[in-house]
Structure 1
Amino acid sequence: MTAVDVTYVFDGGYLRPSLISAYSVLKHRPADLTLRFLVTEAIPALVPAADHLRAAFPKARIEVQPIDFDSSLAVQGHVSAAALARLNLPALLDQPTLYLDGDTMVRRDIGPLFAPRPNGAPLAAVRDPGILKALHQRAGRGWLPSRKSARHLRDLDQLADLVDPSTYINSGVVLFDLPRIRALGLHRRMGDLAAAVDLRKRLGLRFNDQNWLNVVFKGQIDLLDPTWNTLWGNRLTGRSPFPQADRAAFSASRRDPAIVHFTGRLRPWEIRHPWLYPKRHPWLGAYKALQAEAEAILQL
């Protein structure tokens, strides 16, 4: 088995989902793995939880590391200010690492993501299907853009030549080749949190760190297969406005995703009755089963 490296970055508000997600990683990769929690504030409950994970998966290396974060950069936006801290990864770690948002559920071994890549791109991630949907709607396919799609299109217009819409990635699952990022001299710009916040404020953007990653790594992104980051299982990719070619390209991600990403305001770890959300079937139910299994191990 190839040794792999996984990193979470979060504050106290995302402790529970991050632990559940980490359990899902370890369940499918119990050895030859370094799993790291980088936290932007003291979280006392994390210490015993990490110990429970170590006891359950003794062949994995599990680390907890507090990191400095300038809380004055806290901004209004789609995600928490702590998410900005991931932009400092080149200054914190030496090796390539897979960054995962806490609202993810891993369903298979992530080892294949660490296979050598021929093009040497410093970042690898999955195209954001929400952005792709908006682009298809702009092209005249399907209905007029929804309010969310219209906001995506407005933000893309604001970013203009700063990003490449054809490779605009979702930042919830990202493989960072940190040595390559430093070798290309991109680490300083990536870690310029003030510039990232200024860009969002100046242009009135919805996303903060995600837009910044797309700006910094424009033209240097390796696109991963859609199975590695499916937004609630990518239901939206199986119908209009997605053309048949794209529906086929996303088919495997809908049928058997490697990572399900629970984006948006609905927080599956807080839901008690998944049957009340039939449109979220089957992945909400799968998450609740994982949550019960993980919390028994973590003693949460």
Structure 2
Amino acid sequence: MAMHVALTFDDNFWAPAYATMRSVCLFTHRRPELVFHLMHRTLTAEHRADLEKIRDEFPVELRFYDLDQSEMFRDIAARMPENKRLSNIVYARLLIDRLVGPDVTRVLYLDCDMLVRDDIGALFDLDLEGNAIGAVRDPAGALITGQRDLLKNRDIFDPADPYFNAGLVLIDVAQWREADIVGRMEAAHASGVMQRIYYDQDLLNLIFKRRWLKLPWRWNVVDARPAHDGIDPAIVHYTGETKPWSVFAHTFGSVAFARVYRHVMTNELFYRFARHRWKRWWKKKLGLGR
């Protein structure tokens, strides 16, 4: 049975996307079953070629989706609140059911700032017990929704309701489609709710309230620090400001599995990505674009 994995990213995140994909491949024996759905924008031919090299090492299938050619995505990205740090690519996962083919009935969505350390086959085969999705509870959920003193948006969220991190979502595609996520987002935008909440993650928590299966914590360990090295997380999620490709991660040991991550990305790509980020930083400083 095919294991469908979806990632969303723009050209500035092509190397982390590769690292996440390669970590999935490295830590499963079911490599021939893997189908990666790569939903991207602004991807250069050079960086697409880097992603395609994964097939030289593993017997996987790659399906590319150019969101720059999607009128629906361009419309949503232009109108919805913009995430300055993550870019409007965050809205791409909401379109998964509209992008994947009819052969896909279940898909595992992964953020591209993740390192997989265990066999996702065990996760992919889980019984969702009738729920639309499976996800891991976010330890900072009440703070994300309520913010200072947990008082904000109390008319929208109840802090007593479990809140999941949407960096990993195991999706029943039929129920995802039935939820009419894009329609619900349009309604939330018209009512002013989208302008008040934390982008698509909050929206998904509203749509799938009490309709999600709580997965074991080890499948999405957020803000992964060195202390997490010893508790054997299945997936580490680098949600903090310091990422494993940052020089500070290696100099000060501030994130979990930083050395492992570098070699999962591969040394060659790791240093090429560092040069890409350095050039981008200088362009911003000099006002020469993003």
1:277 aligned residue (242, 252, 255): 252
Q: Residue 208 and residue 113 in structure 1: after superposition, are their counterparts in 2 closer, same or farther (change >3 A)?
A: same
After superposition, the C-alpha distances for 1:170-213 in whole angstroms (9 at most, x for unaligned) are 0001111102333xx21x23554444554231x3x3x2100000
Give the whole-Å Cα distance in 1 for the aligned partners of 2:247 and 2:214.
Answer: 36
How high is the TM-score relative to the length of structure 2? 0.77
Aligned pair in 2 of structure 1 residues 195, 82: CA closer, same or farther (>3 Å)?
A: farther
- Assess, with a 3 A threshold, how the Cα gap between structure 1 residues 172 and 125 changes in structure 2: closer, same or farther: same
Q: Give 1:294 shift.
A: 7.7
Name which of 228, 231, 248 aligns with 2:222: 231
- The 1:231/1:53 distance shift into structure 2, 3 A limit, reads same
Using the alignment, how far apart are the partners of 1:23 and 1:294 within structure 2?
A: 14
> Distance in 1 between the 2:202 and 2:230 partners?
25
Give 1:97's match in structure 2, choosing from 107, 112, 134: 107
2:279 maps to: none
Which residue number in structure 2 is paired with residue 189 of structure 1? 181
The 3 A distance-change label for structure 1 pair 42 and 295 is closer
1:113 to 109, 118, 123: 123
Is 1:261 the counterpart of 2:237? The answer is: yes
In structure 2, the gaps of 5 or more residues are 277-290
Contact 1:98 1:176 in 2 (8 A): yes
Q: Deviations over 1:220-266 (max 9, x none)?
A: 0011111100013378xx9xxxxxxxxxxxxx996001100000322
Q: Which amino acid aligns with 2:172?
A: D
Is 1:286 the counterpart of 2:277 in the alignment?
no
Q: Point out where structure 1 has 5 or more consecutive residues left out of the alignment.
A: 136-147, 239-251
Deviation at 1:66, TM superposition (A): 1.2
Aligned counterpart, 1:215: 206
Equivalent residue letter for 1:287: Y
**1:168 maps onto 2:167 in alignment:** no
Confirm or deny: 8 A CA contact 1:39 1:66 kept in the other structure: yes
User: Does structure 1 residue 75 correspond to structure 2 residue 49?
Assistant: no
Instruction: Tell me the secondary structure at the aligned position of residue 166 of structure 1.
Output: coil
The DSSP-based 3-state class of the residue aligned with 2:156 is helix
Partner of 2:10: 11
**How much has 1:40 moved relative to structure 2?**
3.1
- Once residues 13 and 75 of structure 1 are traced to their aligned partners in structure 2, the CA distance between those partners, rounded to angstroms, is 20
Alignment of 1:124-203 (within 5 A): 124-131=134-141, 134=143, 150-151=147-148, 153-155=150-152, 157-160=154-157, 165-182=160-177, 185-186=178-179, 188-190=180-182, 192-195=184-187, 198-201=192-195, 203=196
Q: Which moved more, 1:95-104 or 1:9-18?
A: 9-18
| Residues 19, 264 of structure 2: 8 Å contact kept | yes
Asked if 1:84 is matched to 2:91, the reply is yes
Please report how far the alpha carbon of residue 114 of structure 1 lies from its aligned counterpart in structure 2 after TM superposition. Answer: 2.0
The structure showing larger relative contact order (alpha-carbon pairs under 8 Å, at least 6 residues apart) is 1
What is the DSSP-based 3-state SS (H/G/I as helix, E as strand, rest coil) of the residue aligned with 2:240?
Answer: coil
Q: What fraction of aligned residue pairs are identical, expressed as a percent? A: 26
Cα distance in 2 for residues equivalent to 1:122 and 1:167: 15
SS in 1 for 2:233: coil
Alpha carbons of 1:74 and 1:12: their partners in 2 closer, same or farther (altered >3 Å)? Answer: farther
Which residue does 1:21 correspond to in 2? 20
Q: Distance in 1 between matches of 2:208 and 2:149?
A: 19
Give, as a single letter, the amino acid of the residue that structure 2 aligns with 1:117.
Answer: D
Question: For 2:122 and 2:234, how far apart are their aligned partners in 1?
Answer: 11
Aligned length: 259
Distance 1:118 1:131, change over 3 A: closer
| 1:44-87 deviations in Å (ceiling 9; x for gaps) | 23331133111111x21122121312231353336321111111
* Alpha-carbon offset, residue 279 of structure 1: 4.1
Aligned-partner Cα distance in 2 for 1:231–1:150: 18
Q: Is the 8 A contact 2:248 2:254 kept in 1?
A: no
